[in-house]
């Protein structure tokens, strides 16, 4: 059977030549670049993207990497920036969700994105907890979706579907370079509104639903304290995973920079070329050490390529009682050192 399958797959080949394919990619990249250049570039573009994301939603989002809806939002609005660590940008207060039909709930699940696009995810479910059943009438019609009148449905791309749990998921992507000026959103303080309308079937009945979500966005200008490690360039061993290998293995590294803020930090790591890794295992042991010797548990979270050869930057997250708390802030004046897998780095 393996032979037949492989013979089948061998016959699946693209029609165009590699040269034509390469030309197409280069042409598309050029068009993309032209569009991106139309946007006013800001030095803090990654943080700004998250700030914009937060202006739509509530919480933190990774500003680079693949678009995965795995960020769960709290009240604080935090930017993860590879150079400056996590920063508190503001707060979301007085969240309101208004739905035209009280039998349904609309939630803003997540906002995430990159410097070039912003994806917002809504979830529509039944208030009684039962799954939406669209039976023989699977047609879902999203009629409108907007954000503070800045963006209209026609400007982005929207994917919507009924998931396995019987909730309608709407993933709304805006390409920032084309349509949405970050500065438009970033300067918005006060009430932020999103609204939409949709029609779908539930237990053989058509439902027309309008919704509106809103909250007060309160940006903060508070500049955060930062600690930097005084003694660096020590060699340490970290536990890593290669993306294409799933076993944990030791990686000999050097720590280049360590910066900590009240809300999180960043660690820049370099390793030999053949040891570059894309995942640091959770069992790497990081503690912030207080002046009285007590410890605060921390851990590596998302990583970013620095652009420099063989170096990556990892964000550091703090934990309280072994649990991640998204708005946990620590008192930096009380921290004297950081321990990474038993190696101590003094902080200044």
Partner 1 sequence: MNEQQLDRYIINFRGTVYRLAYSYLKNCEDAEDISQEAFLKLYTSTQSFAADENVKAWLIRVTVNLCKNLLRSSAYRNHDELTNEAAPHSPESSGIEEYIKRMRPEYSAVLYLFYYEGYSVKEIAKICGITSVAVRTRLSRGRNKLKEMLLKEDAL
- List residues near partner 1 by CB under 8 A: 1-2, 4-6, 8-9, 11-16, 18, 21-22, 24-26, 28-29, 32, 64, 66-67, 140, 159-161, 171, 242-244, 246, 273-276, 278, 305-307, 309-310
Nearest to 79 by CA among 118, 45, 106: 45
Of the pair 171, 281, the CB lying nearest partner 1 is at 171
Nearest to 136 by CA among 204, 233, 217, 51: 204
- CA separation for the pair 190, 215 (Å, rounded): 8
Q: Minimum CB separation from partner 1 for residue 333, in Å? A: 35
Q: Minimum CB separation from partner 1 for residue 340, in Å? A: 22
Of the pair 1, 40, the CB lying nearest partner 1 is at 1
Nearest to 166 by CA among 131, 128, 201, 204: 131
Q: Minimum CB separation from partner 1 for residue 120, in Å? A: 15
Nearest to 284 by CA among 327, 245, 253: 253
Q: Minimum CB separation from partner 1 for residue 313, in Å? A: 11
Of the pair 102, 274, the CB lying nearest partner 1 is at 274
- CA separation for the pair 12, 206 (Å, rounded): 43
Of the pair 158, 329, the CB lying nearest partner 1 is at 158
Q: Minimum CB separation from partner 1 for residue 66, in Å? A: 6
Count of C-beta atoms within a 10 Å radius of residue 194: 21
- CA separation for the pair 236, 251 (Å, rounded): 8
Q: Minimum CB separation from partner 1 for residue 29, in Å? A: 5
Q: Which helix (H) or strand (E) holds 212?
A: strand 205-219
- CA separation for the pair 53, 117 (Å, rounded): 10
Of the pair 192, 198, the CB lying nearest partner 1 is at 198
Q: Are 48 and 42 in contact (CB under 8 A)?
A: yes
Of the pair 116, 329, the CB lying nearest partner 1 is at 116
What is the DSSP code (8-state) at residue 7? H
Distant-in-sequence, close-in-space partners of 66: CB < 8 Å, separation ≥ 6: none
- How remote is the C-alpha of 57 from its chain's centroid? 12
Q: Minimum CB separation from partner 1 for residue 170, in Å? A: 11
Q: Minimum CB separation from partner 1 for residue 115, in Å? A: 9
Of the pair 64, 195, the CB lying nearest partner 1 is at 64
Q: Minimum CB separation from partner 1 for residue 48, in Å? A: 16
Of the pair 211, 304, the CB lying nearest partner 1 is at 304
Tokens coding 31:
């068009």
DSSP assignment of 14-63, as one string? -SS-HHHHHHHHHHHHHHHHHHHHTSPP-TTHHHHHHHHHHHHSSS-B-S
Of the pair 9, 40, the CB lying nearest partner 1 is at 9
């Amino acid at each position: 059977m393996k032979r037949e399958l492989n013979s089948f797959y061998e016959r699946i080949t693209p029609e165009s030549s590699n040269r034509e394919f390469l030309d197409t990619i280069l042409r598309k990249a050029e068009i993309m670049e032209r569009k991106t250049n139309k946007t006013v570039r800001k030095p803090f573009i990654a943080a700004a993207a998250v700030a914009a994301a937060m202006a739509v939603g509530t919480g933190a989002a990774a500003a680079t990497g693949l678009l995965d809806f795995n960020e769960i939002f709290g009240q604080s609005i935090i930017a993860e920036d590879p150079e400056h660590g996590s920063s508190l940008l503001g707060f979301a207060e007085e969240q309101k969700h208004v739905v035209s039909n009280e039998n349904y709930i609309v939630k803003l699940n997540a906002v995430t994105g990159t410097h070039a696009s912003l994806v917002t995810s809504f979830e529509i479910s039944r208030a009684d907890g039962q799954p939406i059943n669209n039976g023989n009438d699977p047609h879902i019609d999203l009629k409108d979706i907007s954000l503070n009148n800045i963006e209209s449905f026609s400007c982005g791309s929207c994917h919507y579907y009924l998931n396995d749990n019987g909730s309608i998921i709407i993933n709304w992507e805006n390409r920032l370079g084309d349509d949405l000026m970050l500065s438009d959103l970033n300067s918005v303080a006060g009430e932020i509104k999103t609204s939409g309308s949709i029609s779908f079937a539930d237990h053989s009945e058509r439902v027309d639903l309008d919704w509106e979500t809103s909250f007060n966005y309160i940006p903060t200008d508070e500049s955060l304290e930062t600690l930097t490690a005084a003694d660096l360039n020590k060699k340490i061993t970290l536990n890593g995973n290669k993306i294409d290998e799933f076993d944990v293995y030791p990686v000999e590294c050097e720590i280049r920079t360590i910066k900590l803020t009240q809300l999180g930090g960043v660690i820049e790591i370099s390793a030999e070329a053949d040891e570059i890794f894309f995942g640091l295992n959770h069992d790497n042991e990081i503690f912030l050490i207080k002046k009285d010797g007590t410890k605060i548990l921390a851990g590596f979270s998302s990583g970013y390529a620095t652009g420099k050869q063989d170096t990556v930057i990892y964000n550091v997250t703090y934990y309280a009682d072994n649990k991640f708390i998204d708005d946990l802030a620590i008192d930096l004046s009380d921290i004297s050192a950081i321990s990474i897998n038993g190696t101590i780095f003094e902080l200044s």
